[in-house]
Structure 1
Amino acid sequence: MMSQMKMSRRSVLSTAAALPLAGMAATQASAAAPLVGPARAPFNRIKLGGFDVTSLLAGTRTVPDPNTIFGLNATPEEFAAASEAAMIPTDKSQFFFTPTVVNTGSELVLFDTGLNGEGITAALAAAGYAPDQIDVVVLTHMHGDHIGGLMTDGAATFPNARYVTGSTEFDHWNGTDNEGFINNVRPMAEQMEMIGDGGSVASGITGMAAFGHTPGHMTYMFESEGQQLVLGADFANHYVWSLAHPDWEVRFDMDKEAAAVTRRSILDMLAADRIPFIGYHMPFPALGFVETRDAGFHYVPASYQFVMDS
């Protein structure tokens, strides 16, 4: 029966803006029910010119001993002082995993895929999308928390998508025996378009080389109707320890010196041009601005700067 068929891509592209209101109605209707599980929606949708940009919470976890990850070239005293100034603990950190969907009006473009197929599928469903509606999957780099959702139970999670990634990044991992790459990325190799610095994913979406975190790590500039936003991926992994101290070494950065140079360069640009960014590991909904402060930078979470039409 036609009434039982799922929404088409055309319907999704044209009606996504109504979803927050539907979610609000559902929340109001169940207000008397006991709260169970996360008290926040696992997606956040904003308007950027003619684009809808939706950040997805595909997973989160608490990680102990963050000084073994961040500030490797800082003393324990320096790390403790920076943490105390920001009123955050030194014995644990909250990690967020935030893929992003861009609705350009003609295509649904997904940036990164989370830790596993189940997580990204659930986050997409909460935002009103199905995996088979995704037109393009962009991989910013090949770390496991970005490629883990490419496959689900041995099959492609996004069966109708084309795939885009940086050529430098793909070539590096293709020369390794990395299990995540072999199991999740290599099966898509023949469907994958390789781009470099300045390469286009779709109209208004441009790749920018941001090497260091991995050999070919890429960020992306979104531009629509005079508005800009940077999809930052992992150029900065923590809103305090990576921004206030961009020269602090991070365990996950494969080339720590290059990553620090890249981090400072991008933060300089964001602060000078007042461009918002989405950071994969920033506190959800992972959207904010950057301002200069002392010898480093300060993260300013977005509030109501981006308002969908009612």
Structure 2
Amino acid sequence: MPQLSRRAFAGALPLGLVGGSLLGGGLMAGASAPAFGATPEAAGTSPMPVSVTPLAQIRIGRFTVTALTDGYADMPYAFFPGRSAAEVEQAATAQFTARPSGVRFLFNQYLVEDGERRILIDAGPAGSIGKTGALPEALNALGLRRDQIDAVIVTHMHQDHMGGLIAGGKNNYPKAELYIDRRDVTHWTDPAKRNGAPDYLQTSFRMAEEVVRLYPKLQAIDGEREIVRGVSIVDLTGHTPGHIGVRIEDGGQSLIMVSDMIFPVVHPGTTDVFFLFEQDRAAAQAMRDRFFPRAASEGALIAATHMPFPGLGRIVADRGQMRWQVADWAFQG
């Protein structure tokens, strides 16, 4: 398994709110979610209504990084091998992410801008699961259309990270270059893999084929590389064969978007708990066991897709145990 470069964790930035609506923005709560993997038609889902569009921005050197969200879904307590459903519910309750129908997962996306290019990290499930479909509205709140996005980095080819690319059966980011790890492209477009996969992964296989068909600018990338100056890929394989993170770094400051390395009940203190959709549990645990201590030692600022909005925090060592700590917020002038 490739080694994570030390540079991935250098220079963590103190976090600040520079123009979002974190304190006033909230998602409408109380609606139940269908089982993960259901299609909009089967689940009867629709785009998620929001009371206030949540936006939060931080600066990483010359970059502005805006946390957005496509919505949320509740994952059944039985979806987390390694603990009983009752134990998972207890852990989620302690983290205030427990709901009657399961663990509340957010679907956070991150827009990276440097004045020249706009790069979106992941595209959300777009109504294919839970109460989702809010990303276009979030972009609109920034005065942006999807055809103004220059590039989209897909951290892996699960439906909740790529559904927005092809919602409505069309290319929704027509001017964007698309970056996906080659291992994931190969896996999710392999008919033999699809034929042997469980039902709950079939939507991801179908969507992957649509992404490849609708995005001629798709670049299947290999390993850690720089997309543009200061935006580079971190190999986090395990959750899927080509699961990646994204490092944003400039001026001695950095942020690592780690995608599905962290969930509300899968975190530094419980690396032996898994999510049902982990492709290779042993590899996923090994990557977390290596990544978390190093992130803690370096004080890396981290963005995580499914943690409560805006998904930003750090991994810290606390009396010999590692835990997730939500990043402090401070207004900046």
TM-score over 0.5 for the alignment? yes
1:133 to 132, 135, 148: 148
SS in 2 for 1:248: coil
Give matches, 1:91-130, under 5 Å: 92-116=102-126, 118-130=133-145
Q: Deviations over 1:215-264 (max 9, x none)?
A: 110011111110011011111222x4433201212211110111111122
Q: Is the CA contact (8 Å cut-off) linking 2:185 and 2:208 kept in structure 1? A: no
- 1:289 maps to 314
Q: Is the CA contact (8 Å cut-off) linking 1:82 and 1:241 kept in structure 2? A: no
- 1:243 maps to 268
Give matches, 1:70-89, under 5 Å: 70=80, 72-75=81-84, 78-79=87-88, 82-83=91-92, 86=95, 89=98
SS in 2 for 1:275: coil
Aligned length: 275
Deviation (angstroms), 1:82: 4.0
Deviation (angstroms), 1:135: 0.5
Kindly name which structure, 1 or 2, has the bigger radius of gyration based on alpha carbons.
1
Please state if 1:164 is matched with 2:179. Answer: yes
Deviation (angstroms), 1:130: 1.4
CA 1:82–1:203: 2 relative to 1, 3 Å: same
Please state if 1:298 is matched with 2:323. Answer: yes
CA 1:73–1:294: 2 relative to 1, 3 Å: farther
Aligned-partner Cα distance in 1 for 2:212–2:167: 12
Deviation (angstroms), 1:288: 0.9
Aligned-partner Cα distance in 1 for 2:92–2:319: 16
Q: Is the CA contact (8 Å cut-off) linking 1:134 and 1:161 kept in structure 2? A: yes
- 1:263 maps to 288
Q: Is the CA contact (8 Å cut-off) linking 1:244 and 1:293 kept in structure 2? A: no
CA RMSD of aligned residues (A): 2.8
SS in 2 for 1:292: strand
Q: Residue type of the partner of 1:113? A: A
Aligned-partner Cα distance in 2 for 1:96–1:83: 14
Deviation (angstroms), 1:154: 2.7
Q: Residue type of the partner of 2:177? A: R
Alignment TM-score, normalising by the size of structure 1: 0.79
Higher relative contact order (CA 8 A, sep 6+): 2
Deviation (angstroms), 1:80: 5.7
CA 1:237–1:79: 2 relative to 1, 3 Å: closer
Q: Is the CA contact (8 Å cut-off) linking 1:147 and 1:185 kept in structure 2? A: no
Q: Deviations over 1:56-93 (max 9, x none)?
A: 11111233x32x122x1234565466456546648522
Aligned-partner Cα distance in 2 for 1:119–1:183: 21
Q: Is the CA contact (8 Å cut-off) linking 2:239 and 2:281 kept in structure 1? A: yes
Aligned-partner Cα distance in 2 for 1:62–1:82: 15
Q: Is the CA contact (8 Å cut-off) linking 1:42 and 1:126 kept in structure 2? A: no
Aligned-partner Cα distance in 1 for 2:59–2:154: 23
Q: Is the CA contact (8 Å cut-off) linking 1:245 and 1:296 kept in structure 2? A: no
1:202 to 211, 223, 228: 228
SS in 1 for 2:82: coil
CA 1:58–1:84: 2 relative to 1, 3 Å: closer
Please state if 1:216 is matched with 2:223. Answer: no
Deviation (angstroms), 1:104: 2.1
- 1:14 maps to none
Deviation (angstroms), 1:40: 4.8
Deviation (angstroms), 1:293: 3.8
CA 1:113–1:88: 2 relative to 1, 3 Å: closer
Q: Return 39-48 or 281-290, whichever deviates more.
A: 39-48
CA 1:137–1:89: 2 relative to 1, 3 Å: closer
- 1:153 maps to 168
SS in 1 for 2:64: strand
